[in-house]
Structure 1
């Protein structure tokens, strides 16, 4: 792109939409006026030419009639009045006669001479330029010819052109004014929308919906922004609830941890740690501290996972869900050696994020392990049912009360019977979020062994060939 064109492009991009609409309207009118001007000039010129030719033919026929009646040498030629058409008689010998006082016409052309000699009946010809010349019509008459001529005058076209130019300038100015007015009226909803958006940005008030006005694209834009504000309100409300719930859940373990730590510090400063705390009590206290730190670590990790929502750098791939389930069961056994997991899995391929799915399965196994008696394993089954991969995790515990089922996947919700057990109340909430993100569903029922049965349904995927890479 050349430098002037680049500067023009940058200038155009810096203009407001109102200015652009004004320039476009004025340019469109200017182009229309220019085209109309050219067409009108052409039509006017043709009309004037046709009128002049017809007039010359009529004058020549009158003069030819008189010449045939009186003879070319005797036909009367009144003195030139000072304006109007010009005439001339061409005699057989090639000489000419003109009215007294008439301006001299150009010499008789060879073509006109041939008409006078009888080679053709008539001839229309132009001499000189359109603005400084003559239009001459030659008509055979008797033994010679007669001619009628007029001076080519472009003044009428020029006057018409200047008039059209003046009208065009007025139209361009009017078009710019109309374009500015239309742009201002058409963009008024955009201005109000901008002001409302600026107000929301300054006040942080997401509850102030923008009035739905205008039509077509403007209305769709306003509705889209209102939907965005509603989504932001929901997100902020969810963040506030998460922070409030997290503060509430962190209060108890942090208080217990602080009290135990302060007790140890105080006894150590007094030098009575060994005497005040027998070895058994000290071991129990240190174990409590370790358990509280582990619980806080788990809670912090789960809060981080929930706060991230569906945002993840992990890519989606086609994977065998059986591998994910086996890996999650192995991790559960390593974290809680007393837990026993009975696996019954078949290969089922799904499209998903491996780490997120493994976290969900691990939470299901951990939750079942809390309730399953020591002599009863946690049952984990994976199979394919039609277009779905079905994962079931059950235990032989007391099961979930009917009153707790509607809230079992809520954040930080813990049934009364579970408050004495370790946990944050976030595990099943994370499970539901991961399953929802993968287009599946999770339900709760009672297992055949009397405990809880949690079922996860995920859309199955077609296994890719070994030599193909995931897209």
Structure 2
């Protein structure tokens, strides 16, 4: 059903484009042919009239020099030689026709319909014969009152125009066919990205695989740009889907241990012969495991939101020095109990940035938790805040156990716990959440560490989240 709808839409859209292209192509060709025909017709008419007026002057000069005898000889000579087109010549003097030379085939023209010009004037007239052919006549009245007329038939000019029309009609028909074929071809090629786009979407709907991508050419074509945007959308959807699947897998894996403990504690409490104090202790253990499960779920959901880009961040003006001090302050008692020294060195001129204060506090608290957890006594954790590279940099340095070269690239992976952390309680997502929150703010985080020589975590944040 979707395939039929898809094909119908694409074909209708393609047919409309092809018809528009064909219509514009055909109208353009028709206009060119009409304009060319008009130019040809006017050019031939102008040429014939110039030749007619030249003949009038030539014959008038011959008549003025030698009278009818010379004129008649010149006309006969021209007609015999074929140098000039057949002409009609008439001379009227004193009310009588002194000379009349007209081809036999022109006898159907009624010469009485010609209007004589005024004295000393000349004019051009067209004498029709009821058909398509006409006789163009140039008249001139000499000073002595003699009327001199010379005419040419439009048959040859009409024949040229008729041939042009026939040829133009054939050319127009050929142009129409070429335009139709070209329109269909160009439309098919132009809409190829749209076909690939609909095919990719159809495959996704049928298979559920969001890893499908639309082929793009990397040009500035609007359809190619649409394909690029669709690919970006598919990457975002694929990231969300993979994040959901990974989160579910991780939740199933990490819930198994606390749920087993919870079940074991409940089964032991249900055994007979338990005291009230033992029941209280069992309930306390159950609550502890429930809190552990709730914390795990909350942390995984926060991490999934941050990694998929769907975490909603507030845009408040945040004094980062205060945020870091608040995060360090949360671990003062823990560090004191463990025999560690905490120190904060803050540049009061570091300024503020735009961000989500609770999320940033959470990220730096996780860094402090990680540093204190893996730093044995007597040790120290030193935090530095300063302006750097157009933003603010926070460096957390500890004297802990350090991180091996094999573990360093993997400490940012969710649920990963290195060999040194097996003995410590934790969910294995603290550093993953740190990186996700920092990157959601457009920042970056890195680590420098060697086993036995402590670790140094560097966090850089832009002053404005629009720098992302």
Alpha-carbon distance in structure 1 between the residues aligned to 2:154 and 2:244: 88
Aligned to 2:275: 277
Aligned to 1:17: 14
Count residues with an aligned counterpart: 428
Aligned to 2:255: 250
Residue 300 of structure 1: how far off its partner (Å): 0.9
Residue 422 of structure 1: how far off its partner (Å): 3.3
Aligned to 1:320: 319
Q: Does 1:346 align with 2:344?
A: no
Aligned to 1:287: 284
Cα 1:125–1:184, aligned 2, differ >3 Å: closer, same or farther? same
Q: Does 1:431 align with 2:429?
A: no
Residue 373 of structure 1: how far off its partner (Å): 6.3
Deviation larger for 135-144 or 221-230: 221-230
How do residues 185-200 of structure 1 correspond to structure 2 at under 5 angstroms? 191=195, 194-200=198-204
Alpha-carbon distance in structure 2 between the residues aligned to 1:63 and 1:330: 122
Alpha-carbon distance in structure 2 between the residues aligned to 1:215 and 1:399: 49
The structure carrying a bigger helix percent of its residues is 2
Alpha-carbon distance in structure 1 between the residues aligned to 2:199 and 2:295: 46
Alpha-carbon distance in structure 2 between the residues aligned to 1:113 and 1:247: 115
* Structure 2 residue matching 1:276: 3-state secondary structure: coil
Alpha-carbon distance in structure 2 between the residues aligned to 1:295 and 1:395: 27
Cα 1:33–1:334, aligned 2, differ >3 Å: closer, same or farther? farther
**RMSD of equivalent CA atoms:** 4.7
* Structure 2 residue matching 1:37: 3-state secondary structure: helix
Residue pair 2:323, 2:357 contacting (<8 A) in 1 also: yes
Cα 1:302–1:14, aligned 2, differ >3 Å: closer, same or farther? same
Residue 176 of structure 1: how far off its partner (Å): 0.7
How do residues 24-423 of structure 1 correspond to structure 2 at under 5 angstroms? 24-55=21-52, 57-58=54-55, 61-62=58-59, 65-66=62-63, 68-70=65-67, 85-91=87-93, 93=94, 99=100, 103-109=110-116, 112-115=117-120, 123-126=122-125, 135-139=136-140, 143=144, 144-150=146-152, 156=159, 157=161, 160-161=164-165, 164-165=168-169, 167-184=171-188, 191=195, 194-205=198-209, 237=242, 239-264=244-269, 266-267=270-271, 272=272, 275-277=273-275, 279=277, 281-308=278-305, 309=307, 310-316=309-315, 319-330=318-329, 342-347=343-348, 348=350, 349-371=352-374, 379-385=382-388, 387=390, 389-395=392-398, 398-400=401-403, 404-423=407-426
Residue pair 2:119, 2:143 contacting (<8 A) in 1 also: no
Alpha-carbon distance in structure 2 between the residues aligned to 1:314 and 1:233: 22
Structure 2 alignment gaps of length 5 or more? 1-8, 77-84
Q: Give me the TM-score of the superposition, normalised by structure 2.
A: 0.72
Residue pair 1:64, 1:139 contacting (<8 A) in 2 also: no
Cα 1:14–1:56, aligned 2, differ >3 Å: closer, same or farther? same
Cα 1:44–1:386, aligned 2, differ >3 Å: closer, same or farther? closer
- C-alpha offsets along residues 66-114 of structure 1, whole Å, 9 cap, x if unaligned? 4642359x97999xxxx964433242x57666749662244544xx322
Deviation larger for 307-316 or 56-65: 56-65
* Structure 1 residue matching 2:124: 3-state secondary structure: strand
Q: Give me the TM-score of the superposition, normalised by structure 1.
A: 0.71
Residue 282 of structure 1: how far off its partner (Å): 3.6
Residue pair 1:318, 1:461 contacting (<8 A) in 2 also: no
Residue 289 of structure 1: how far off its partner (Å): 2.1
Residue 233 of structure 1: how far off its partner (Å): 6.1
Residue 159 of structure 1: how far off its partner (Å): 6.5
* Structure 1 residue matching 2:151: 3-state secondary structure: strand
* Structure 2 residue matching 1:344: 3-state secondary structure: strand
